[in-house]
Amino acid sequence: MENILVVGTNNRPVACSLSKLGYNIYSVDHFGCLDIKPCVKEYNSFLSQKPFHSSGFLQESFKQNNLEQMAKEFLGEVDHIICCSGVDPAKFPKNKIIGNKDISSVHNKYKFYKTLKNRFEGLFKLPETFMVKDFGEVHEILEDFPEKNFLLKPLIGSGGVGIRKPEEDDPTIDFNNVILQEIIEGVDLSTSVISSGDEAQTIITNQQLIGKKSLGQIQNYGYCGNISPCPQLDNGYNENNLKEISEEIILGLDLIGSNGVDMIYNNGEVYVIEVNPRLQGTFEAVEASLNLNMAEVHINACQGLFITPKPTKFAIKMVVFARNRSLVGNMKIEGVHDIPGENVIIEKGEPVATVLTSGMVLEDTVYTGKKIVSFVYQNLEKY
């Protein structure tokens, strides 16, 4: 039986899917949620999940280097490595990586923007994007584009964390590590694309849930989950066009395995925002909708083996964030995942748990999901 190390911010979905395939799983992640334990042989996490201790703030406590250093303990024991969000596969032995070994073409958001602009001009639209060194340059760009609105985004990062308005009185902005990017209004979408490097196939299109106050998300552009597959949009919506764009990008960037393309759909126009060169946050909703094991799909795609699945039902993933500084109660109920330890303190705006529901009727699936979200909040005590 082969041993696989999973490294990332939150490994529970991928680790548990790999475990179902019969692998011995080693895991190194940030959160260390309770429900990863039955899926792994050994694990290490940055957070200790101690009762009456705070889990802190992800933006302050998360350090990519921490995970990469902790992972070194297991490198000699494993046959393969799968990198999830929050780590750079270039820091690990190339011969053990299942998936993309080099993500430099997409890791840096400005380089990614320039690559797309140079290679794929005319295939889709891009938000205006600039590197800026100070507020003087910000003001110049705002004056040059009075009809557009802009945000500052981290040069490297994911999940919508750290996106902010370009406010001059904010002393925390590090202009060496941000880009100024045009705000595009519309429907947030993502495609799940599998690739061998020579061939690519979009297996599903998802609607992203972004900045949902009903889920306690305090960041306007923070990721909160997704609906798989994407519900039908307006009459100008062409899913085949989105699929073709996604496949062109993934092949053009020489990516393999499972990858995601984030886009915004606006009245028949498609804006490409980011590429996720790894197993994505949509992972388990896609699994539920397509009735397959996405870890297996990823491994097979890296070996040139493809599937042609069709959605069998709707699946909704909702990440629940704390509305107040809260003490966690008993979260063990069907549909709740990424469970924190009982009596652990979760700070306001930080993720508490993930709710996953599925069903044949979208409205019923949404209703069930909202009921489970209510259960999560009922088991949080303001602290």
Does CATH place domain 3-98 in 1.20.81? no
Pairwise pLDDT comparison (60 vs 247), residue with the higher score: 247
Residue 238 has pLDDT above 90, yes or no: no
Note the CATH number of domain 187-382.
Answer: 3.30.470.20
CB 189 within 8 A of CB 242: yes
The pLDDT tens digits of the residues spanning 156-190 come to 877 777 788 887 667 778 888 899 999 999 999 99
Tell me the pairing of strands 380-382 and 326-328: antiparallel
What pLDDT shows up at residue 76?
A: 96
Q: How many CB atoms lie within 10 A of CB 131?
A: 16
The pLDDT tens digits of the residues spanning 110-169 come to 999 999 999 997 899 999 999 999 888 999 999 999 999 999 998 887 777 778 888 766
The pLDDT tens digits of the residues spanning 324-347 come to 999 999 999 999 999 999 999 999
The pLDDT tens digits of the residues spanning 278-322 come to 999 999 999 999 999 999 999 999 999 998 899 999 999 999 999
The pLDDT tens digits of the residues spanning 6-41 come to 999 999 999 999 999 999 999 999 999 999 999 999
What pLDDT shows up at residue 168?
A: 65
For CA atoms 202, 105, 255, 152, give the dihedral sign: negative
* pTM of structure: 0.94
**Across all residues in the chain, what is the average pLDDT?**
94
What pLDDT shows up at residue 1?
A: 74
- In the chain, what are the domain boundaries? 3-98, 128-182, 187-382
